[in-house]
Structure 1
Amino acid sequence: MRVHLIGVSGTGMGQLAMLLRDAGHDVSGSDMSFDPPMGPALEAAGIRCLPGYKAENIDAGYDLVVVGNAIRRDNVEAVRTDELGVAKTSMSGALREHFLVGRRPLVVTGTHGKTTTSAMCAWILAQAGLEPGFFIGGLPKNFPSGASIGSTKRKLGGMGGARMGKPAPFVVEGDEYDAVYWNKQPKFFDYVGVGSDDVAILTSIEHDHIDIYPSADVYEAQFAAMIDKLPPDGLIAADARDARARKLVSSRAKSRVAFYGLDGDETGDVTPTWFGALVAPDPVTGAQPFDLYAGGSYCGRFALKVPGAHNVRNAVGAIAACAEGFGVGVATARTALAAFEGVRRRQDLLGRPGGIAVYDDFAHHPTAVDETLRALKSREPNGRLWAIFEPRSATACRSLHQNEYATAFRAADRVLFAPLGRTNIPEAERLDVDKLAREIGESAEAMPTVDAIVARITEQAAPGDTIALLSNGAFGGIHAKLLSTLASRS
């Protein structure tokens, strides 16, 4: 086919463009800019990159136009597509029709942990020899990119490989954000219900994306509908600790259910089938060990290079889905997870200029901030932990979680807040970072600019300290600025 993508430079759209190119299609894409890393990657993959949105970019010879979810209906290319009657779809629609149909999807959903859990699942299935395809909203360090077609051959399936002829797996991160301007529903609606035995993971449900889902009930209803779409012969692995997830899965799932959890979790009336018990981190390597139990039986000791209880939780969920859904042996999962390197922008060590560890992390929801900081404190126990936070997402910039943020930074010794990353939030709805800093106390400060943050850290950070840069965006280039300044100081 000839395929054109409008808004191709986003992570998901760019990865889809490269999948389509790998599948043998003639692919072009337009966007306002083609900045690194996606721009050069698209060009290297043979995608024709067209700067700016122009009506002449679309002609009647295209077989399909894929419209990104950041594109509005009045975009000149979207309008031209309709005028010419060219077939159009969303990113999630294209992924379903061209890569999920005929495969066995493993859809990872939930508010937290989707990217890391998806990467773990893809790596476990790959190490089990199942040659999975995958589509992940980040860059797993064990793979050259965040997306791959994988094998289209039929594979062994079922517990222990007892049944033959199953389609090869395809792991997809199931984002709950809306698909496209004419379909304001979660992307994961396009990913579940593809086959008769889909597998899903539900990590958590905590109100997010307030710009799309105005209330917690509306947000929760999307996951309820997702559970309803899973086929009876499918499987859902759900975190038993999360009360909302536990309730929805227990009351609505017509598929098989595999609950998972950690030692000490409050799980209501549910007993997790898959259970992890944390062990003290290795003081030399920083590895995070845990003991795994399945159905009450001890399955051995595991170890992760990525720290924190939340990553152990992600790992147990991934094991449950891969073992019960695809017949992967526990020993294979243990070997795979021991070699799992993590995902870029998730506790990603950028360097140690002057003996100061600088980490980059995508965390922006209060729960994710809390778990990330506690994990880094465990990994880097010496010196002070600095949390540098940019509220940037539509939810983070609002006062929805004002109270929760006040306790989310408790693991940090110093907290610096950047200005809000969005200027279009009504003043009455904005997160009040000055108030937040006052509530936290003397250890916290609201800063006027990124350069002021860099100057404060350069002035006061000492060797042995750890800096956590927390933002779901580019954070004004603070990463390179801080590394350069600290290196110059040393």
Structure 2
Amino acid sequence: MHIHILGICGTFMGGLAALAREAGHRVTGCDAGVYPPMSDQLRALGIELIEGYGADQMALAPDVFVIGNVVSRIRLADGTPKFPLMEAILDAGARYTSGPQWLAEEVLQGRHVLAVAGTHGKTTTTSMLAWILERAGHSPGFLVGGVPLDFGVSARLGGSIRSTSAAPRRLEPTSASKVGNAAHGWANAGATFVIEADEYDTAFFDKRSKFVHYRPRTAILNNLEFDHADIFDDLPAIERQFHHLVRTVPASGRVVVNATEDSLQRVLAQGCWSELARFGGGGEWQARGTHDAFDILRRGERVGRVEWALSGLHNQMNALGAIAAAEHVGVAPAEAAAALASFRNVRRRMEVCGTVDRPGGPITVYDDFAHHPTAIRTTLEGLRNKLDAGGHRGERILAAFEPRSNTMKLGTMAAQLPWSLEQADLAFCHSGGLEWDAVAALLPMGARARVAGSIEPLVAQIVAAAQPGDHIVCMSNGGFGGVHEKLLSALRAAE
């Protein structure tokens, strides 16, 4: 099958493209401003990329067009369509579908799907769960909204369950009579697939959340706050979408729920028809110990222990959810906990970009994906606790952040920024492209907050303020204008 993907450089659509190519399909795609790192990864897989959404791409005549949710029917000021290829597809009556729908029909059918949903921690928890299953011999398929360091790729088809003593093997093609989904010709019986389940809408023609398409047998509901202000009016609107996900889990399935979240309790109050496994305070799955070394308790009984390099209560909660979900496919909690000892996290999750030596202690620059106020606060609290526990109490945290998500650009959560940055000794905001006043929003922080409208003055502000032993955390869900390397270069030049 030849599929042509519109919006192929997005994390989800790029992962889908990799899965389709691995399954043997011919894959082409287009995007505006075809950009790395996804463009480099896709070209390395032999996927042809086209710049823009020109109607001339109809000449490719694929079997199906797969439409990303970046595509819309918006018209520009001069009346021309922003996505002329989409208009041509509609005019021609050509076959098209959404990314989540294609994934459900061509990859997920017949597999035991484990879906990880939540406002925060989806990528990390999905990666944890995939790693646990890998170490337990499941050779899981997965699609993650990031790059797990233990796998080096964001998506793969995976295989069927194997013995933990056997060498890893690829799932072999089989005859159509033995396949749950003959369209892709892979034997899915017993195969597991772990997917990051996003509540964002599916496509311009399908306004349901993406995760409704995945039909999981195991679902983790990690947490739930208001987000995506561009498509949801309020928190109850998102809670309804989460309940739509719960409705799709079979009676033989398991819903793993953060017991500390009132919003998730409201979701469950609307109805749940599956086994419930609650984690955190008040749940049957709990942790006892420090954030980097803790026992796993199930109904008060110690069933495993996690000792790892990660920090923060949020990662401890992520681990509880992943362990409870893995048990549903037969992985003992002790085995799952032991697997997490070697878990290396995900790129752009407090990833050290580099250090600059200084008399009195090195300056360390980190890259982190945090972009929601709660995620920013959690990231900084985790670092503060790690520094204090490691004998580095008093070392400063400098937070550089870019309000880049659709919700943050709207200014909906601007008032929460001083709260989210409480653990930072100094905060530096990149205000370029914002339609709200970042200076006014950060006024409660006084002299601890600085604002710059572009990257160069932001870097200059940080370099002027940096001292030996500082930890500079750069937070954005985008490239942040390459601020990480620019900072390191400027700091080294200032030695």
TM-score by length of 1: 0.89
For the 8 Å contact 1:304–1:312, the answer to whether it is kept is no
The answer on 1:298 being equivalent to 2:283 is no
Candidates 339, 352, 355, aligned match of 2:355: 352
Q: Pick the aligned partner of 1:187 from 210, 225, 228.
A: 210
Q: Aligned partner of 1:356: which letter?
A: I
Residue 320 (structure 1) aligned to one of 313, 319, 324: 324
Quick check: 1:176 aligned with 2:199? Answer: yes
1:448: which partner in 2? 453
Instruction: Supply the distance in 1 between the matched residues of 2:369 and 2:220 (Cα, whole angstroms).
Output: 21
Mapped contact 2:295–2:305 kept (Cα < 8 A): yes
**Alpha-carbon distance, 1:391 to partner:** 0.8
Number of the residue aligned with 1:285: none
Tell me the CA shift for residue 204 of structure 1: 0.9
Offset at 1:85? 2.9
1:22 and 1:475 mapped to 2: Cα distance?
31
Give runs of aligned pairs for residues 351-430 of structure 1, distance below 5 A. 351-354=354-357, 355-381=362-388, 382=392, 383-422=395-434, 425=435, 430=436
Residue pair 2:305, 2:334 contacting (<8 A) in 1 also: no
Query: Bigger shift: 464-473 or 220-229?
Result: 220-229
| Most deviating of 339-348 and 442-451 | 442-451
1:39: Cα distance to partner? 1.3
Distance 1:387 1:181 in 2: 36
Structure 2 residue identity aligned to 1:185: R
8 Å CA contact 1:278, 1:309 repeated in 2: no
Q: Is the 8 Å Cα contact of residues 59 and 84 (structure 1) preserved in structure 2? A: no
Shifted more, 138-147 versus 57-66: the winner is 57-66
Equivalent pair of 2:355/2:365 in contact (CA under 8 Å): yes
- Indicate the percent of aligned positions where both proteins have the same amino acid: 38
Deviation string for 1:211-255 (max 9, x for gaps)? 000122212211122112221111110000101112322551111
Structure 2 equivalent of residue 4 of structure 1? 4
Q: Which amino acid aligns with 2:408?
A: A
1:272 positional shift: 0.9
DSSP-derived class of the 2:353 partner: strand
CA-to-partner distance for each residue in 1:378-433, whole Å, 9 max, x for gaps? 233432100111111121123322332221111111111110544xx5xxxx3x32
- Out of 261, 277, 280, the position equivalent to 2:288 is 277
Cα deviation for residue 344 of structure 1 reads 0.9
| Contact 1:155–1:166 (8 Å) recurs in 2 | no
Greater Cα shift, 4-13 or 116-125: 4-13
Structure 1 match to 2:484? 479
Q: Which residue in 2 is equivalent to 1:234?
A: 253
Alpha-carbon contact 2:398-2:425 (below 8 Å) kept: yes
3-state SS of 1:200 partner: strand
Q: How many residues align?
A: 454
User: Structure 1 residues 167, 87: closer, same or farther in 2, change over 3 A?
Assistant: farther
Question: Retained in 1: the 8 A contact 2:304–2:338?
Answer: no
Q: Does 1:146 align with 2:169?
A: no
CA distance in structure 1 between the aligned counterparts of 2:222 and 2:397, rounded to whole angstroms:
27
Name the residue aligned to 1:30: 30
User: Do the aligned residues in 2 keep the contact of 1:207 with 1:220 (CA within 8 Å)?
Assistant: no
Whole-angstrom CA distance in 2 between matches of 1:82 and 1:364: 36
- What is the DSSP-based 3-state SS (H/G/I as helix, E as strand, rest coil) of the residue aligned with 2:86? helix
> Counterpart of 2:409 in structure 1: which amino acid?
C
- Partner residue of 2:313? 309
Alpha-carbon distance in 2 for matches of 1:52, 1:166: 40
Deviation track 1:309-368 (CA, whole Å, cap 9, x = no partner) reads: 100110010000101x21101222122100001111111111112311111111111111
Q: Which residue of the partner structure matches residue 235 of structure 2?
A: 216
Instruction: Describe how 1:248-267 pairs up with structure 2 within 5 A.
Output: 248-261=267-280, 265=281
Aligned amino acid, residue 297 of structure 2: Y
Distance verdict in 2 for CA 1:80–1:399, change over 3 Å: closer
Provide the TM-score with structure 2 as the length reference: 0.88
Q: What is aligned with 1:268?
A: none
Aligned-partner Cα distance in 2 for 1:363–1:154: 34
Determine the C-alpha separation between the residues in 1 that align with 2:191 and 2:432: 44
Off by >6 Å, runs of 4+ in structure 1: none
Equivalent residue number for residue 62 of structure 1: 62
Give the Cα separation in 1 of the matches to 2:34 and 2:407.
27
Aligned-residue offset at 1:36: 1.7
CA distance in 1, matches of 2:483, 2:466: 15
Specify which of 133, 136, 139 is matched with residue 125 of structure 1.
Answer: 133
For the 8 Å contact 1:8–1:17, the answer to whether it is kept is: yes
What is the distance in 2 between the residues matched to 1:120 and 1:300?
16
Q: Within the alignment, does 1:134 sit opposite 2:142 as a pair? A: yes
Question: Structure 1, residues 156-182: CA drift from partner, whole Å, max 9, x if none?
Answer: 9xxxxxxxx962110010011111110
- Does the 8 Å contact 2:324/2:333 carry over to 1? no
Distance 1:293 1:215 in 2: 35
Q: Is the 8 A contact 2:432 2:452 kept in 1?
A: no
State the distance in 2 between where 1:396 and 1:66 align.
28
Q: CA deviation at 1:155?
A: 6.5
Match of 2:78 in 1: none
Gaps of 5+ in 1: 157-164, 266-270, 282-287
- Residue 374 of structure 2 aligns to a residue whose secondary structure is helix
- What SS class does the counterpart of residue 469 from structure 1 fall into? strand
Pairing partner for 2:339 from 336, 339, 343: 336
Report Cα offsets for 1:37-59 as digits up to 9, x if no partner.
11121111010112222222124
Q: In the alignment, which residue of structure 2 is the partner of 1:247?
A: 266
d(CA) in 1 for partners of 2:269, 2:301? 23
Shift of 1:118: 0.4
CA RMSD of aligned residues (A): 1.8
Corresponding letter in the other structure for 1:389: F
How far residue 463 of structure 1 moved from its aligned partner, in angstroms, is 1.7
Stretch moving more, 35-44 or 165-174: 165-174
Q: Select between 448-457 and 118-127 the one with higher mean Cα deviation.
A: 448-457
Residues 36-75 of structure 1 mapped to structure 2, 5 A cutoff: 36-59=36-59, 61-73=61-73, 74=81, 75=83
Secondary structure at the counterpart of residue 491 of structure 2: helix
Letter in 1 for 2:30: S
